[in-house]
């Protein structure tokens, strides 16, 4: 897809919306309640808390925005009801895009360096998405993230942002093997197929898949589950150093001794024709689902799904759809390093769409590619029910320690 077409697609999707001057200067976080004339829709980050906590939360939020370098003129604060505090980006209400954030000069987004474990007990520096970009994406129109009950604290938001960053850091550069119709392959010293050996801790088995990627040949569904299982556990073990929450995550993963089964809620797959309605209420072990998210709205660390709506190629194992992690900076994960470790949104849509034309290798099947127009990409950004490919849900980790987790089914 040419750069000109990509630019047109971005404009058509509303990805390059210009900040309204009236909204940009109308309210700083310290400025009180927004006027009803300009009140934004209820989206962004909301705290639903006892009234006596609101003032302290506001002070904490102001400090957090300052810490991350988010200017007070970029955020709107409203209090739609007593005990409710909402922060939203000072962008037009119709602007739900987060893909273009790195290109928006007013946000001044840069990557951050974090350190991850490496072979031999060493560590390595990784350039990954910034906490600033994650929070900006959470504040954008197009979805609402609510913190209530014991989550009425800035610590809950900090944990949520940190968890997302750790997920992206581990997913940024992967090079697992692709089965391509053959059986999956797992390092037999750590796993029996997708189950850790009884002599190997779940922590060790998960980490091995990232340190010795050449010993794994897995599909994108397994890759997604591995990414979240490892990143969430690693966050509490290594980053947060919170043994109690690490034990909670570990216990949920090993509830049935199958840490990669049921990582996500069963309802994530309720669009499939053979979905068992009796399983709809089975919760994810470590992930929850948010529905009704606007097209173009992705927060780094989101698990996203694009459905192959072609009835013929949908039946080909591994090509039913594409599981992807949004990495921020306009990029989606490439588990197999088939595409320089990442895809743009337009490239991801194009990849899934071209399967119906028999394009399973971009080099070998290049002659079969039918280029998409800018209008095609916009059309395919709708839900399958509306003729597109993009499911309108996003999946992300629970607020461990800040929400009551749903009970898992009996073993």
> How confident is the model over 174-199, as a mean pLDDT?
95
Asked whether 400 and 245 are in contact (CB, 8 A), the reply is: yes
Residue boundaries of the structural domains of the chain: 19-170
Does residue 12 carry a pLDDT above 50? no
**Average of per-residue pLDDT values in the chain:** 90
For residue 340, name the pLDDT band (cuts at 50, 70, 90).
Answer: confident
Measured distance CA(390)–CA(318) in Å, rounded: 17
For residue 21, name the pLDDT band (cuts at 50, 70, 90).
Answer: very low
Segment 259-313, tens digit of pLDDT: 999 999 999 999 999 999 999 999 999 999 999 999 999 999 999 999 999 999 9
Return the closest-CA partner of residue 24 out of 34, 16, 14: 34
Residue position matching structure tokens 């705290």: 47
pLDDT of residue 41: 61
**Six-digit token string for 383:** 């839900």
pLDDT of residue 14: 47
Determine what percent of the chain falls in helix, strand and coil, rounding each to the nearest 5.
40, 15, 45
Segment 214-266, tens digit of pLDDT: 999 999 999 999 999 999 999 999 999 999 999 999 999 999 999 999 999 99
pTM, two decimals, is: 0.90
Does residue 32 carry a pLDDT above 70? no
Does residue 130 carry a pLDDT above 80? yes
Task: Write the DSSP string, 303-362.
Answer: EEEEE---TTGGGSTT-SEEEEEEEETTEEE-TT-SSTTEEEHHHHHHHHHHGGGT-SST
* Strand residue runs (E) in 169-313: 191-192, 195-196, 287-290, 303-307
pLDDT of residue 10: 46
Higher-confidence position of 181 and 215:
215
Segment 309-328, tens digit of pLDDT: 999 999 998 899 999 999 99
pLDDT of residue 385: 95
Segment 376-385, tens digit of pLDDT: 999 999 999 9
Quick one: 410 exposed, middle or buried, by C-beta within 10 A (0-12, 13-18, 19+)? exposed
Quick one: 68 exposed, middle or buried, by C-beta within 10 A (0-12, 13-18, 19+)? middle
Segment 33-55, tens digit of pLDDT: 333 444 556 899 999 999 999 99
* Strand residue runs (E) in 204-320: 287-290, 303-307
Return the closest-CA partner of residue 185 out of 130, 223, 211, 152: 223
Output phi, psi for 257, to 5 deg: 65, 15
Asked whether 254 and 195 are in contact (CB, 8 A), the reply is: no
């Amino acid at each position: 897809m040419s750069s000109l077409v990509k630019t047109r697609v971005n404009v058509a999707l509303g990805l390059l919306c210009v900040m309204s001057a009236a909204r940009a200067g109308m309210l700083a976080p310290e400025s009180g309640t927004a006027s009803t004339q300009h009140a934004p829709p209820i989206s962004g980050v909301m705290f639903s808390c006892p009234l006596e906590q609101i003032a302290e939360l506001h002070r904490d939020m102001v400090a957090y925005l300052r810490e991350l370098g988010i200017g007070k003129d970029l955020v709107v604060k409203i209090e739609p009801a007593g005990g409710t505090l909402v922060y939203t980006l000072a962008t037009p209400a119709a602007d739900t895009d987060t893909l273009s954030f790195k290109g928006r000069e007013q946000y001044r987004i840069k990557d951050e360096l974090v350190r991850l474990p490496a072979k031999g007990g060493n560590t390595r520096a990784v350039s990954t998405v910034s906490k600033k970009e994650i929070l900006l994406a959470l504040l954008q129109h197009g979805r609402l993230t609510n913190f209530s009950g014991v989550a009425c604290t800035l610590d809950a938001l900090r944990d949520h942002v940190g968890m997302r960053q750790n997920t992206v850091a581990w997913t940024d550069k992967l090079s697992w093997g692709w089965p391509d119709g053959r059986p999956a392959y797992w390092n037999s010293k750590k796993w029996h197929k997708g189950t850790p050996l009884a002599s190997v801790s779940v922590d060790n088995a998960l980490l091995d898949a990232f340190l010795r990627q050449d010993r794994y040949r897995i599909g994108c569904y397994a890759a997604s589950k591995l990414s979240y299982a490892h990143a969430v556990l690693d966050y509490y073990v290594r980053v947060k150093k919170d043994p109690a929450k690490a034990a909670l995550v570990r216990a949920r993963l090993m509830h049935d001794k199958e840490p990669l089964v049921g990582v996500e809620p069963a309802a994530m797959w309720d669009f499939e024709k053979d979905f068992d309605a009796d399983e709809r209420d089975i919760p994810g072990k470590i992930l929850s689902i948010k529905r009704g998210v606007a097209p173009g709205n992705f927060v780094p660390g989101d698990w996203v799904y694009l459905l192959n709506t072609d009835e013929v190629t949908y039946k080909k194992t591994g090509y039913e759809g594409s599981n992807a992690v949004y990495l921020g900076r306009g990029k989606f994960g490439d588990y197999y390093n088939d595409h320089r470790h990442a895809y743009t949104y337009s490239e991801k849509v194009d990849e899934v769409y071209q399967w119906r034309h028999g394009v399973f290798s971009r080099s070998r099947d290049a002659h079969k590619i039918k280029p998409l127009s800018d209008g095609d990409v916009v059309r395919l950004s709708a839900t399958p029910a509306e003729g597109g490919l993009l499911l309108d849900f996003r999946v992300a980790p629970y607020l461990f320690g800040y929400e009551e987790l749903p009970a898992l089914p009996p073993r």
